Amino acid sequence: MIFTSFEFVFFFGVVLMVRSCLRSFSAEKWFLLAASYVFYMSWSIPCGLLILFTSSLDYFVGSVLGRTEDPRKRKQLLALSLIGNLGVLVFFKYANFFLVNVQWGLNLFGSQAPQWHYDILLPVGISFFTFQSMSYTIDVYRRQIPTCNSWRDFLLFVAFFPQLVAGPIVRAADLLPQLRQRVRASLLDIEAGLAQFALGAVKKIVISDQVAPHVDLIFANPGNYDGLTLFFGVLGYAVQIYCDFSGYSDMAVGAARMMGFKFMENFQMPYSAVNITEFWRRWHISLSSWFRDYLYIPLGGNRKGDGRTYFNLLVTMLLCGLWHGASWNFVVWGGLHGVCLAVHRGWKSLDPFKSLNQHAVFRFGFSWLSRLVTLSIVLVGWVLFRCPTWSAATDYLIRMVTWSPEGVRLISPFILMAVAAVTVVHFTINKDSNWAHNIPSASVPVRIAAYSTLFVLLGLLAAVDAAPFIYFQF
């Protein structure tokens, strides 16, 4: 059941209707919990048992932490939570990756290792709900939030269906307080939520799903196409993954808003970033802030000198890459961003053009050059992210960078129009604005025009076959 399906529209309508009829707040939360598990188990019933296990473990650990003052016992309880959550994540997501690398290492030293591989079902959204649940015990351990005294509320916090399978990663400090008192959506909430949901649907099924077949065709056999086609292929993928993932986030935030719940925004015009640091402040904000607060800062952040700061950035981004998938491509992708973040930080500390910054012409030209460099780094990273193997990624990059004339030239009008649309939005609209928030406050004619445009786009240009969201695999 995905957000763009008629099944979800029916499911969400039933949830809204039944919830409005329940007079008991306790019954309402039990109903939302049951609905969330039905939503998740529409993919796999056993996976519902898994999320129940990890949630119950962290609820138990958090409850005991709230009654424990002994520092040694508190560390042991935190370790239990981390081992439980990361152990589940490693088993389901990285077991075969680990075995393949062990086999490769043994073969390298002359041992004839058997081929180890197990058919392990990867639960949808496992990386999201384990990180969300685990952050609660870390915050309780740090005494940053009080313990949750309701098992039902905690289960609902982890499994709440709008953000369950692909984020945003909602912190306990943000959602649990909203479950302590009954919330109801105002007319503004309903309108803003519906606007954001519709905007996300346009991103997903009008742009991403229309571009996807053409991008897939190019990446399936890059050796068949010339350098220009490969360049447009990676541009198309950059648009596809942005509209796919930010579209899901918009629909998740919008669905929650229509029920009266507030989630953080997960994307804010990332391709308009002037540097790679700003890019990560605008791309997948809930994940980048999670790694900042629970890994980068505990490693020392920028408090222990430049060398340690660069090391911390690299380690954080390598693990961020591994979080995305069990492949060395993702690790290299994370390493690329980690190195670039470190280089940018070093550049800022040196500031070699400080004396020229007072000139408006220089500032204008340098900002656009910085945007071009940042976008180039991001595009190279997307090739690593999208290609199935390291060799495929290197071949793709070599043919693209050398502008190989060999091969078929395929210029997709879908890719051209999608790239043009995203470019216009990123570089002509205030990158800190939010259309879903702005539209409800506009005049009536503007609102009618905006909503009519969104629904006309959905009615006329939506892809016939809605593809699964890309980040479901993570």
CB atoms within 10 A of CB 419: 18
Q: At what angle do helices 227-258 and 209-220 cross, to 10 degrees?
A: 150
The verdict on whether 324 is a catalytic residue reads yes
Please, are residues 229 and 298 in contact by the beta-carbon 8 Å criterion? Answer: no
Helices and strands: H and E segment counts in the chain: 21, 0
Please, are residues 217 and 386 in contact by the beta-carbon 8 Å criterion? Answer: no
Q: In a 3-state reduction of DSSP, which class is residue 236?
A: helix
Q: How many CA atoms lie within 13 A of 418 on its CB side?
A: 32
Please, are residues 5 and 205 in contact by the beta-carbon 8 Å criterion? Answer: no
**Of residues 324, 344, 359, 426, which has the active-site annotation?**
324
Q: In a 3-state reduction of DSSP, which class is residue 355?
A: helix
Please, are residues 312 and 341 in contact by the beta-carbon 8 Å criterion? Answer: no
One-letter amino acid at 416 equals: L
Three-class secondary structure assignment of 408-450? ECCCCHHHHHHHHHHHHHHHHCCCCCCHHHHHHHCCHHHHHHH
2: left (phi over 0), alpha (psi -120 to 50) or beta: beta
CA nearest 431: which of 268, 278, 275, 276? 268
What residues form DSSP beta bridges with 225?
A: 408
C-alpha separations of 422 from 118, 374, 427 in Å = 41, 16, 9
Please, are residues 423 and 166 in contact by the beta-carbon 8 Å criterion? Answer: no
Please, are residues 296 and 176 in contact by the beta-carbon 8 Å criterion? Answer: no
* Alpha-carbon gap, residue 353 to 148, rounded angstroms: 52
What residues form DSSP beta bridges with 408?
A: 225
Q: In a 3-state reduction of DSSP, which class is residue 351?
A: coil
Query: Which residues are marked as active site?
Result: 324
